[in-house]
Amino acid sequence: MEKYLEELNESQQKAVVYLDGPALVIAGAGSGKTRVLTYKIAWLLKQGFAPHRILALTFTNKAAREMKERIAGIVGEETARRLWMGTFHSIFSRILRREAERLGFTSNFTIYDATDSKNLIKSIIKEMQLDDKVYRPGMIQSRISNAKNALITYKAYEQNKQLIEDDLRNKIPLVRDIYARYQNRCQQAGAMDFDDLLLQTNLLFRDHPDVLGKYRDYFQYVLVDEYQDTNFAQHLIVKRLCEGRGNLCVVGDDAQSIYSFRGANIDNILQFKQLYPGCQIFKLERNYRSTQNIVNAANSLIRKNTAQIPKQVYSEKEEGSKLQVLSSYSDYEEAYAVAARVHEMRRQMPYADMAVLYRTNAQSRILEEAMRKRNIPYRVYGGLSFYQRKEVKDVISYFRLVINPHDEEAFKRVINYPTRGIGDTTVSKLVSAATTYGVSLWTVLQSLSDYAVPVNAGTAKKLAAFRELIDSFRERNQELPADEIATAIVKESGIVALLAQDHSTEGIGKFENLQELLKGIAEFCQIRQEEGNTQVSLGDFLAEVSLLTDQDQEGDENTDKVTLMTVHAAKGLEFGAVFVVGLEEELFPSAMSKDNPRAIEEERRLFYVAITRAERHCTLSFARSRFKNGQTTMCIPSRFLRDIDLKYLETEDGYRRPEADSSVSERKPESRPAFTSPLQQAQMRETPSAGPRKLTRMTAAPVSSAAEQDFSDFQIGMRVRHGRFGEGVILSFDGDGNNRKALIEFDNSGQKQLFLKFARLEKM
């Protein structure tokens, strides 16, 4: 162990060996946070803590898995396996299954994912005959989710004046009733949503002091990773488990808090000190990942935020190259420019050391296309996870129904898949009977006559057949291991036959996914058996898989591929070279956050996360136009580009950004970009005339306010000259007003579609 301690710097060491009370480790980007956590756990084991009495909570399954591996490397796999290590959601779902009866659930409860929740909300809105334009399901879902994260049950919601008034003001007074119905339906179905896993844990601990006492005594030391991303419910769980004893160590970086949309509360880390008196703070400020230029650029950016824990992150690596700013005409060109640079970079490092990061998943397509055309191998992370694909989820729904027949969402998904002549009308009848009698759909199905379901004989027969199908699976599930019952289910339900007859490309893909799923189950069984479990049931598999939204399928990790992912997904990772694309107003920062200073700060932190992923090279790219929602729109370079100190940037060709600090009057005309659009001018006007940087951030860019221009003097067939592409002929027009663009056949550069507004065409 001493040998391992030597691998740590002084502040890391102090954080590892400190056991005299609550500890807060502020870990700057790339400062060896994971190393501290793993060694701390190893240290605890060395001090005699039993592995199964250490609780380590992480943010993603992947983080947990990797940390476990690293610990196994130090203390051996046998010991590492006994640790309670995982995400909040997975750890507490385990505890909830054990204690389910206390809460009126059974241990085989289903976990509803976000889609299940949304579907349930949709059907409740429909049943209540509300307008889904007013009661927008997504909005209701996030309201309920926020309430749950703040530990407001539906009963508390009804009594919360503030919330009720809010809803009244927003003309959605019935949210409280939707919430109440939603919760009852979940209970009825024996289901918990993601937020329930935390909420119910809190209720369990609040209402059953003996249970809380049991776990509080059981866990002798608690560690929490990514503490800046915990929400109130998570914070309270931790607090309850550690009450009165200081055996707690939380690690995080307030500058990397990027999950407030999910209820994460940055105050948890900012106020940790006040909440846990006697707590010791450790700061890890030396960055081991990146060159000085990257660290300094990131520092200059994050300095523009207000609330943060003071720290000075520094690097002692070489100065390194400056951050490259890349500007392109369009999203299309951007993707190709990035692909070209990736190709070039290949001379310095393998593809696997490079990543292209973007704000939204939708941006991946065009990048993929560019990579494919250049024959660059890539791997896209995120988007739909394996378990969320329709064909996989349908099969999983059968599994869910077998384990918990009251699962309403699984029932609805599966009852007519493959089609067996039970349509919407019949399902609606079942639902309405279930609602009137307050029972599950499955219960109604058991005795159609008892619940007065008005179906004709033919339909009744089909329903009975479905019931028998599920019953027969349920029976066999008692004895069979997971892989065998799973195979029986996909065969006898008719899914295999259905998918096998579809010979289209995507049909084949679906069939392969099905095989993949079955293979996954078989592997799961095998691993569990090797760990000493005799019989591995379908329920075991399901309990695990419901929380595995992580991207950890295919084993092609070792091949040399460029990584494409969202910035969120990149948190915690590092790459030799990073390309951050789409740095434009309304995209990064997102349009959703433009009027909200707090949200803008979060977007800035997100950008900070993106930059600090880079070890040696970082490229920041934006396009001047982008295809969005079915049409091309013009873009303004992101305000964040102006937040980075110029001396760390290397800008080239057309773009030279306005300097945030210098005043307009001082700027010489020559220092302006050669290529200036009216929009850019509008943006420049907005730069503060004197000192206060704040203005830059607080003034929203007046995008649409730019005056409409008249381009009517350009005609089809006219010969024009363009500054970059030379001479050409106008073939056609598209769009109106400021978005009017012309398709031009250039003599030397081929066809281009250009905004008249930008193009500054000259009539010949």
Q: Catalytic: 33? A: yes
According to the annotation, is 33 in a ligand binding site? yes
| Cβ within 8 Å of residue 315, ≥6 positions away | 286, 287, 288, 289, 290, 291, 292, 294, 295, 296
| Contact pattern from residue 596 through residue 635 relative to DNA, giving x for each residue in contact according to CB under 7 A and a dash for the rest | ----------x--------------------xxxx-----
The reply to whether 416 sits near DNA by the rule CB under 7 A is yes
Phi, psi values for residue 747, rounded to 5°: -60, -40
Residues 90, 605: Cα–Cα separation, whole Å: 27
The alpha carbon torsion through 387, 388, 392, 395 (nearest 10 deg) reads 100
Residue number, 384 or 716, with CB nearest to DNA: 384
Which listed residue (37, 85, 338, 569) binds DNA by CB under 7 A? 569
Q: Catalytic: 668? A: no
Strand partners, 25: 251, 282
- In the numeric block, the tokens 């008719």 are attached to 494
Residue number, 153 or 416, with CB nearest to DNA: 416
Residue at 480: amino acid letter? L
Which listed residue (61, 230, 265, 612) binds DNA by CB under 7 A? 61
| Contact pattern from residue 126 through residue 145 relative to DNA, giving x for each residue in contact according to CB under 7 A and a dash for the rest | -------x----x-------
Tokens representing 524? Answer: 């799961």
Sign of CA dihedral 687, 690, 691, 692: negative
Strand partners, 303: none
Question: Which of 12, 33, 228, 551 is an active site residue?
Answer: 33
Which listed residue (11, 38, 60, 202) binds DNA by CB under 7 A? 60
Question: Which of 12, 201, 256, 459 is an active site residue?
Answer: 256
Query: Candidates 165-173, 319-327, 400-408, 564-572 — which segment interacts with DNA by CB under 7 A?
Result: 564-572
Which stretches of 404-423 are DSSP H helices? 408-414
Chain residues 314-343 in contact with DNA, contact rule CB under 7 A: none
Query: Candidates 8-16, 81-89, 297-305, 690-698 — which segment interacts with DNA by CB under 7 A?
Result: 81-89
The reply to whether 593 sits near DNA by the rule CB under 7 A is yes
According to the annotation, is 28 in a ligand binding site? yes
The reply to whether 424 sits near DNA by the rule CB under 7 A is yes
Residue number, 98 or 598, with CB nearest to DNA: 598
Q: Catalytic: 256? A: yes
Question: Which of 143, 528, 613, 642 is an active site residue?
Answer: 613
Answer whether 398's CB lies under 8 Å from 493's CB.
yes
The reply to whether 467 sits near DNA by the rule CB under 7 A is no
Q: Catalytic: 475? A: no
The alpha carbon torsion through 626, 629, 632, 634 (nearest 10 deg) reads -60
Antiparallel, parallel or unpaired: β 719-722 and 726-734: antiparallel
- Minimum CB distance to DNA, residue 673 (Å): 29
Question: Which of 113, 196, 225, 584 is an active site residue?
Answer: 225
The reply to whether 122 sits near DNA by the rule CB under 7 A is yes
The reply to whether 89 sits near DNA by the rule CB under 7 A is yes
Give one DSSP letter per residue of 171-235, joined into a string.
T-TTHHHHHHHHHHHHHHHTEEEHHHHHHHHHHHHHH-HHHHHHHHHH-SEEEESSGGG-BHHHH
Helices (H) and strands (E) in the chain, counts: 34, 24
Residues 739, 677: Cα–Cα separation, whole Å: 13
According to the annotation, is 31 in a ligand binding site? yes
Inter-CA distances, 239 with 194, 206, 224, Å: 20, 12, 11
Give one DSSP letter per residue of 10-21, joined into a string.
HHHHHHHH--SS
The reply to whether 200 sits near DNA by the rule CB under 7 A is no
- Minimum CB distance to DNA, residue 112 (Å): 11
End-to-end C-alpha distance for the chain, whole angstroms: 78
Residues 700, 683: Cα–Cα separation, whole Å: 10
- In the numeric block, the tokens 């990073």 are attached to 578
The reply to whether 426 sits near DNA by the rule CB under 7 A is yes
- Binding footprint of DNA, residue count (CB under 7 A): 49
Q: Catalytic: 34? A: yes
Which listed residue (220, 361, 472, 749) binds DNA by CB under 7 A? 361
Which listed residue (21, 246, 382, 735) binds DNA by CB under 7 A? 382
According to the annotation, is 34 in a ligand binding site? yes
| Contact pattern from residue 267 through residue 296 relative to DNA, giving x for each residue in contact according to CB under 7 A and a dash for the rest | ------------------------------
The reply to whether 419 sits near DNA by the rule CB under 7 A is yes
Residues 753, 375: Cα–Cα separation, whole Å: 26
Residue number, 226 or 483, with CB nearest to DNA: 226
Q: Which of 570, 568, 563, 609 is nearest to 342 (CA)?
A: 563
- Minimum CB distance to DNA, residue 667 (Å): 33
Q: Which of 228, 227, 265, 233 is nearest to 149 (CA)?
A: 233
Residue at 231: amino acid letter? N
The reply to whether 501 sits near DNA by the rule CB under 7 A is no
According to the annotation, is 370 in a ligand binding site? no
Tokens representing 697? Answer: 């951030």
Which listed residue (262, 476, 672, 760) binds DNA by CB under 7 A? 262
Tokens representing 77? Answer: 């796999």
- Minimum CB distance to DNA, residue 698 (Å): 19
Residues annotated within a binding site for ATP: 27-34
Residues interacting with DNA, by CB under 7 A?
Answer: 59-61, 87-90, 113-114, 122, 133, 138, 194, 258-259, 261-262, 359-362, 365, 382, 385, 416, 419-426, 459, 547, 549-550, 566, 568-569, 590-593, 606, 627-630
Show which residues are catalytic: 33-34, 225-226, 256, 613
